[in-house]
Amino acid sequence: MKFNTLAKAVSVATLSIMASAAMAQEVTLKFHHIWPAAAMAPTRVIAPWCDKVAAESNNRIKCQMLHAMSGGGTPPQLVDRVKDGVDDLTITLPGYTAGRFPAMEVFELPFMTNSAEAGGSAAWEYLQKHGLKEFPGTKILATWVHDEGYVHTSAKQIKTLDDFKGLKMRAPTRQTNKLLAKLGATPVGMPVTGVADALSKGTIDGFALPWEVIPAFKLHQMTKFHTQTDPTRPSLYSAGFVFAMNQAKYDALPADLKKVIDNNSGAGLSRQIGKIWDESQAVGRKAAADRGNTITTLSLAETDNWIKASAPLNDEWVADMDKRGLPGRQMLQDARDLLVKHRK
């Protein structure tokens, strides 16, 4: 065999072996998050997603679950842990790192939506136009908002704005801290993982949360009162989530495994996860009702009082965006328009 012919044969064989190796590549993704293993998000979102990508990749993509921050660090560090490759995947709230993701804060402004399903579709579309630059080194697989957010208290029932006076209330994000201050409370920012301890120590008198997460941390057992806004209005608040993957980890995957990830991300996944959050609301509410807690729904007139009191936050956010060189008014209008579009 001539040298050139032999070299070509070796080259073809080498490429064939490399291609086979790429096709056979297996990857284990470290999936780190805040929730206990039995909570709604791990059981209804994270585990099904991992099972689906495993099945579609012939078990070549696997998830290593790191529940309840068992991988180390704190909830506000999750966005950087994924960006830096310490973790491969996470679901977290960008708002836990106050002011770090200002463009995506728009969905955390008061009285924006009462549909997490519509919020998921709107947030994904908005992200493509206004938010992607906030996540360098990170591939966003989905984004959405949680079910309707309300206020929950341990000893004092909230029926009017005056009832907030003197209360120390936990909030998850910069915008919800500002919201509680506008309503008359003293806001205390912290992730949900710190709420039970803060309640038990008297550091806070209550908290802002959606129904979904309350049973996971047994917070219905530490409160007596829950206040919902009138259902004909958008809910008091929501907070945004991202399903994030380390960009370098994604880039290193062979093309067929990238396709599996791509097929399980995007607008459809964002809307689907939002719908799951909506469906979880009744389950969380039932845990409080079954315990005998008092659940109050504000009148339309009182809800409108809360809307009026919190309305200046919209202009404040717009002004903040303008100072950053961003089209704040247009961004707010885009978010509102997208929520209307996807609610249909």
In angstroms, the CA 103 to CA 13 distance is 51
Residues 207 and 226 occupy one common structural domain: yes
Residues 245 and 323 in one domain: no
pLDDT at 5: 56
Contacts of 18 by beta carbon, 8 Å cutoff, 6+ apart: none
- The three-class DSSP label of residue 86 is coil
227 & 319 share domain: yes
b/e map of 311-342 (b: 16 or more CB within 10 Å)?
Answer: eebbeebbeebeeeeeebeebbebbbebbeeb
Residues 202 and 111 occupy one common structural domain: no
Task: Please answer whether residues 238 and 108 qualify as being in contact, where contact means their C-beta atoms are separated by less than 8 angstroms.
Answer: yes
pLDDT, average across residues 174-190: 97
299 and 217 within one domain: yes
| End-to-end CA separation in angstroms for the chain | 70
pLDDT (0 to 100) of residue 184: 98
Q: Are 191 and 185 in contact (CB under 8 A)?
A: no
**Distance between CA atoms of residues 192 and 232, nearest Å:** 27
Residue 308 lies inside a defined structural domain of this protein? yes
Residue with tokens 């949360």: 209
State the total domains in the chain.
Answer: 2
**Beta-bridge mates of residue 245:** 89, 139
pLDDT of residue 165 exceeding 90, the answer is: yes
Shared-domain flag, residues 333 and 202: yes
Mean pLDDT, to the nearest integer, of 213-220? 97
Residue 4 lies in a domain: no
Rounded mean pLDDT, 284-292: 97
Residue 5 lies in a domain: no
The pair of structure tokens assigned to 137 is 């080194």
Q: What is the mean pLDDT of residues 163-175?
A: 97
Q: How far apart are CA 168 and CA 339, in angstroms?
A: 31
The answer, yes or no, to whether residue 6 has pLDDT greater than 60, is no
The residue range of the domain holding 181 is: 149-237+287-343
Which tokens is 120 given?
Answer: 């998921």
- Find tokens 């209307």 and name the residue: 340
Percent with pLDDT over 70 in the chain: 93
Residue 194: inside a domain, yes or no? yes
Element (H, E) at 19: helix 3-24
Distance between CA atoms of residues 89 and 32, nearest Å: 6
> What is the pTM (predicted TM-score) of this model?
0.92
Q: What is the CATH number of the domain that holds 177?
A: 3.40.190.170
Asked if residue 243 and residue 233 are part of one domain, the reply reads no
- Mean per-residue pLDDT, 133-159: 98
Give the number of C-alpha atoms closer than 13 A to the C-alpha of residue 344, restricted to the C-beta side: 4
d(CA 213, CA 220) in angstroms, rounded, equals: 10
The CA distance from 185 to 208, in Å, is: 11
Same-domain status, 61 and 95: yes
What is the reported pLDDT for 17? 43
How far, rounded to the nearest angstrom, does the alpha carbon of residue 293 sit from its chain's CA centroid? Answer: 27
Is position 42 within any domain?
A: yes
For residue 214, the one-letter residue type is I
What is the residue type of 260?
V
Residue 185 and residue 95 share a domain: no
Is there a single domain that holds both residue 123 and residue 174? no
My answer on whether 207 and 311 are in the same domain is yes
Same domain, 252 and 123: yes
Nearest-10 crossing angle of helices 47-56, 255-263: 140
The candidate with the shortest Cα–Cα distance to 192, out of 30, 32, 33, is 33
Asked if residue 8 belongs to a domain, the reply is no
pLDDT exceeds 80 at position 19: no
Q: Does 194 score more than 90 pLDDT?
A: yes
pLDDT for 23 equals 53
CA 167/CA 173 separation, integer angstroms: 18
Q: In the listed set 247, 279, 311, which residue is the last one of a domain according to the structure? A: 279
283/269 Cα distance (integer angstroms): 22
Q: Would 254 be classed as within a structural domain?
A: yes
pLDDT at 24: 72
Q: Is residue 231 part of a domain?
A: yes
3-class SS string, 296-313: EECCHHHHHHHHHHHCHH
